[in-house]
Amino acid sequence: MKKVAVSLFAILAGTSFAMAGDAGCDAFKWTVAREQALFPAAPAAQSGAALTVGQAVDFSLGAVDTISFEVPPEHAPAAGTFGATASVTVPPEGELQFSLSDEAWIDVVQDGQAVKSAAFSGVRTCPGIRKSVRFKLTAGPATVQLSGAKKADLKLAVLAPE
């Protein structure tokens, strides 16, 4: 009987851990399945890169004090953190979703002004994806500013919201 109880406990514990892992990514307000598919094969990019909607990049970030931001980041980055800038052409639909693999601040700038985010979702329990932020933008060029990253690399997906 003791063996059965121990076996049952082991099975339940394993199932609970597996469910907890799956629930981590399900805790986002919207699905991050596209990001999960894009991040493993994301090509390398440096600050100043041109981003493409529907793709992801693996940024090599620079020391935040060496990055020339178009406008100061909304949250002043701490010393010793990392950042980057990039350009993106916003499609006529105007809304974009930016998903990051790790903690960092993201600002999107159009016409010399930082645009307030329209929606945000972040969880700490989803392996490989930390947060996803949506912005309502106008069609045309925009600048993406990443700052305050604690690591020198960061994956970023640029998608049209589903």
Region 60-79: mean pLDDT is 96
Question: Is the pLDDT assigned to residue 6 strictly greater than 50?
Answer: no
pTM given for the model: 0.84
Least confident of 13-17, 22-26, 63-67, 152-156: 13-17
More confident residue, 112 or 17: 112
Instruction: Please state whether beta strands 44-46 and 55-60 pair in parallel, antiparallel, or not at all (unpaired).
Output: parallel
pLDDT class of 75 with cuts at 50, 70, 90: very high
Measured in whole angstroms, the distance separating CA 104 from the mean position of its chain's CA atoms is 8
Res. 10: pLDDT tops 70? no
Q: Give the least confident one: 11-15, 44-48, 83-87.
A: 11-15
Q: Would you state the pLDDT for residue 4?
A: 42
Tell me: pLDDT of 5 over 60.
no
pLDDT band at 142 (very low <50, low <70, confident <90, very high): very high
Asked if pLDDT for residue 100 goes beyond 50, the answer is: yes
pLDDT at 23: 62
Assigned token pair, 150: 């604690």
As a whole number, the mean pLDDT across the chain is 89
Instruction: Pull the structure tokens for residue 107.
Output: 């600002």
DSSP alpha helix (H) spans, the chain: 2-26, 33-38
The rounded percent of the chain whose pLDDT value lies above 70 is 86
Using DSSP's 3-state secondary structure scheme, residue 65 falls into helix
